[in-house]
Amino acid sequence: MTQNLETILRKSLDQADRNFKMFFAIGILMAICDIAGLVCVVYGTADVRTMLAYSVVVLLVSQGVYFILTCAYVTVMTRKTLKAIELLSRE
C-alpha cells in the first residue's frame, strides 16, 4: 500500500514539473513578445513622447501578465503538491 501512495506522490510531482516547463515556455514567449513590442514602438513612431508613452504601456501590460502567470504557476504547483500530501496522510 505504501508503494501505491509513493507512486501517487511521484505522479503528482511529475505533473508539477511538466507544468513548470509549460509556464517557463510561456514566460519565454512573453519575453520575446515584449522585445518585439518595444522594437515596434521604437521604429514605428517618430515622436519621442509617443514612443515613451507606448513603451511604458507595453512594459506595464507585460508586467501584469508576468504577475498573473507567476500567481497561476504557484497556485497550480501548490494544489498538486497539497493533493499528493493529503493522499499520503490519509493512510
pLDDT in tens, 3-30: 677 777 777 777 777 877 888 888 888 8
Residue span of the structural domain in which 27 resides: 2-90
* Whether the Cβ atoms of residue 59 and residue 31 lie closer than 8 Å to each other: no
pTM: predicted TM-score of the whole model, two decimal places: 0.64
Number of domains in the chain: 1
What mean pLDDT is predicted for residues 57-75?
Answer: 86
What mean pLDDT is predicted for residues 27-53?
Answer: 81
* Whether the Cβ atoms of residue 81 and residue 12 lie closer than 8 Å to each other: yes
Per-residue pLDDT, 30: 84
Residue-wise burial string across 30-41, b where 16 or more C-beta atoms lie within 10 A, e elsewhere: eeeebeebbeeb
Judge whether residue 91 has pLDDT over 60. yes
